[in-house]
């Protein structure tokens, strides 16, 4: 059975967040359940360079689109590190300096509507048999950038191919002005509340939610939260309406990529039986983040610096945290104001607060392998991956009680500590006081070495491999294919 996945990011080719990790890891995991995944991604410069270091001319063109939303485009098919890829090579849309979604000044690309409508239109064409010898049984669209695929599919040549939409973050919705509807190439009937119309504009994610046969999101708690007015971000009504089709499937992690026993980014590799080797990683962190070398509690952050992640609360209490004798190593980038606040804190507390404003994959691994704890004070968190990496690396997660964070970390309350099952600390609701309280609680627990190590061991023993979650996707896919085929057969009989 074959899946066509469509996404705007895929690790290791292009990544701004957890979406890429999931899109990169799911194909390998689904293969064990009998599903072959082919993934369509945009040909950003980094992607083109990685798949054809000597220039795109050497790539085999699978299909040409001479006038794709006004752009000359082609799809190339490559196998990259075991992943079957279709890359949309459309220089006018994707070959530019800057990020996938933002220009160098940090503003959304003004033609994002066109770029991701093009990706989605090609996705629907390929799903409908646009490529010879390629007949996917199901389409899996990720987030708003791919969501319109499902609209093109329903209004196009292959309405019978089932479509699944996965929401990785409901905050990003792809909302555009109503006047763009005419340029999307969808039939007039798609302009309705049951189609792409969303509060008087065009909503890509909204359209996907409407047209998908099934909707998944990345944790059970988030699946419940987004049906509420507080976290539904304008879509809670539709999500309640589609409640029967909405499933929460927690993300797994790539346990080869994130394996402390083999990780090349670590100064010292370790297993649950050699936790003391983590000290060498800690020393490497101290050096690279300019921190004092001592035995005090070392808490780290690896994150986008945004309001969603709650790091403004941490920044506002950083003096109090330093006064508690806690060291902080922070790796991240994002909001300019937050970046400035953390840099200022680092210069006020030399040796105690170390900040690197960068996106640095190996450094993220090293922090997990050497810090005592990772703090994740998110206001909302669909799943969160960094706490899962923390669990696997003996870097105890301290997490806000929300979304996937609440679903994956077992709080060190008396009962859980007594039973030896605690894997981290939860706190909430997020406030300056609750943040300082949980850090004090963690610092006290950390002083009790036996208890702390028991938590590290319990976290490292937890299974967050993709296997269980991939099995859930596989069974959902199988159900949908069966239901659609049954429906199609009944249509035939009726004719």
Q: Which residues bind ligand ADP (CB under 6 A)?
A: 17-19, 21, 302-304, 331-333, 359-361, 364, 383-386
Quote the least distance from Cβ 302 to ligand ADP, whole Å.
5
- Show the tokens assigned to 169: 């973050």
Query: Which lies closer to ligand ADP via its Cβ, residue 38 or residue 426?
Result: 426
Q: At what angle do helices 18-31 and 467-494 cross, to 10 degrees?
A: 70
Which residue, 20 or 76, has its beta carbon nearer to ligand ADP?
A: 20
Minimum distance of ligand ADP from residue 33's CB (angstroms): 23
Contact 325, 297 (CB under 8 A): yes
Min CB(368)–ligand ADP separation in Å: 8
Tokens of 217: 């999101």
Report residue 186 as tokens. 């969808």
In angstroms, give the least distance from the CB of 480 to ligand ADP: 26
295/361 with CB nearer ligand ADP: 361
Q: How far is the CB of 86 from ligand ADP (least distance, A)?
A: 23
In the complex, residue closest to ligand ADP by CB: 18
Q: What φ, ψ does residue 105 adopt, rounded to 5°?
A: -90, 0
Least distance CB 105 / ligand ADP (angstroms): 20
Compute the least distance from the CB of residue 285 to ligand ADP, in Å.
14
Tokens coding 193: 């509340």
Query: What gap in Å lies between CA 388 and CA 416, rounded to an integer?
Result: 19
Q: Are 50 and 78 in contact (CB under 8 A)?
A: no
153 vs 395, beta carbon nearer ligand ADP: 395
Q: Which residue has the tokens 């023993």?
A: 461
Q: Measured from the CB atom, is 303 or 426 closer to ligand ADP?
A: 303
Other C-beta atoms within 10 Å of 265: how many?
Answer: 17
The phi, psi pair for 189, rounded to 5°, reads -65, -15
Residue that the structure tokens 């919705």 belong to? 173
- Rounded to the nearest whole angstrom, what is the least distance from the CB of residue 479 to ligand ADP in the complex? 27
Q: Which is nearer to ligand ADP, 134 or 307 (CB)?
A: 307
CB of residue 24 vs ligand ADP: minimum separation in angstroms? 10
The least CB distance from residue 81 to ligand ADP, in Å, is: 17
- 357 vs 436 by CB, closer to ligand ADP: 357
d(CA 219, CA 454): 26
Interatomic CA distance for residues 53 and 167, integer angstroms: 33
């Amino acid at each position: 059975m074959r899946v066509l996945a469509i996404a705007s990011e895929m690790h290791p080719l292009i990544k701004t967040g957890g979406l890429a990790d999931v899109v990169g890891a799911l194909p390998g995991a689904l293969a064990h359940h009998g599903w072959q995944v082919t993934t369509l991604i945009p040909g950003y410069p980094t992607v083109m360079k990685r798949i054809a270091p000597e220039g795109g001319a050497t790539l085999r063109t699978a299909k040409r689109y001479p006038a794709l939303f006004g752009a000359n485009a082609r799809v190339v098919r490559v196998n990259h590190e075991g992943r079957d890829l279709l890359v949309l090579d459309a220089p006018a849309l994707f070959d530019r300096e800057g990020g996938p979604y933002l220009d160098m000044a940090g503003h959304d690309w003004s033609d994002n509507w066109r770029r991701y409508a093009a990706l989605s239109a090609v996705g629907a064409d390929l799903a409908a048999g646009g490529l010879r010898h390629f007949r996917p049984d199901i389409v899996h669209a990720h987030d708003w950038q791919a969501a319109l695929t499902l609209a093109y599919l329903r209004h196009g040549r292959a309405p019978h191919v089932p479509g699944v939409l996965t929401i990785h973050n409901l905050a990003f919705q792809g909302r555009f002005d109503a006047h763009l509807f005419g340029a999307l190439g969808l039939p007039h009937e798609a302009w309705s509340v049951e189609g792409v119309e969303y509060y008087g504009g065009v909503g890509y994610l909204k359209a996907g939610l409407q047209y998908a046969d099934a909707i998944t999101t990345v944790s059970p708690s988030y699946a419940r939260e987004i049906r509420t007015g507080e976290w539904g971000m304008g879509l809670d009504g539709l999500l309640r309406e589609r409640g029967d089709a909405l499933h929460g499937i927690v993300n797994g992690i790539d346990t080869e990529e994130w394996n402390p026993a083999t990780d090349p980014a670590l100064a010292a590799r370790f297993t649950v039986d050699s936790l003391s080797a983590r000290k060498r990683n800690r020393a490497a962190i101290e050096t690279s983040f300019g921190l004092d070398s001592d035995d005090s509690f070392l808490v780290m952050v690896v994150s986008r610096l945004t309001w969603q992640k709650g790091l403004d609360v941490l920044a506002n209490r950083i003096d109090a945290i330093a006064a508690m004798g806690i060291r902080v190593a922070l790796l991240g980038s994002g909001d300019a104001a937050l970046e400035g606040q953390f840099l200022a804190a680092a210069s006020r507390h030399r040796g105690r607060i170390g900040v690197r404003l960068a996106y640095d994959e190996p450094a993220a691994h090293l922090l997990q392998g050497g810090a005592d704890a990772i703090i994740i004070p998110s206001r909302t968190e669909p799943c969160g991956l960094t706490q899962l990496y923390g669990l696997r690396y003996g870097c105890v997660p301290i997490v806000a009680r929300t979304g996937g964070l609440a679903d994956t970390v077992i709080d060190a309350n008396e009962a859980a500590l007594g039973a030896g099952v605690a894997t981290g600390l939860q706190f909430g609701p997020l406030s300056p006081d609750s943040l300082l309280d949980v850090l004090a609680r963690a610092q006290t627990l950390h002083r009790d070495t036996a208890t702390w190590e028991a938590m590290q061991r319990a976290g490292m023993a937890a299974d967050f491999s993709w296997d269980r979650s991939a099995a859930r996707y596989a069974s959902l896919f199988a159900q949908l294919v069966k239901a659609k085929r049954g429906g199609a057969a009944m249509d035939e009989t009726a004719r």
